Amino acid sequence: MNCVFVQLRCHPGKTYQVADEIYDREIVSELYSTSGDFDLLAKIYIEEGEDIGRFINERLLDIEGIARSLTTLTFKAF
């Protein structure tokens, strides 16, 4: 499994709606509200061999209310 972190910036007033939709889709292992440049931080496990970009674009970023995202790939746990 590939562990990927995705930070999401939501349109004003849409953060809770976006978070609810993410949970309804059951694609994240953890989801946090954050301060700073982004509103939400999602931890997602993606199967080996699956196209990470396609997974995120088709299963996460099509949610209404998301203005921007930042994806961080992980490589090795210490």
Domains and CATH numbers, the chain: 2-73 (3.30.70.920)
One pLDDT digit (tens) per residue for the chain, 78 residues: 999 999 999 999 999 999 999 999 999 999 999 999 999 999 999 999 999 999 999 999 999 999 999 999 999 877
**Residue pair 42/60 in contact by the 8 Å Cβ criterion:** yes
Rounded to 5 degrees, what are φ and ψ at 38?
-120, 155
The answer to pTM > 0.75 is: yes
pLDDT at position 56, please? 96
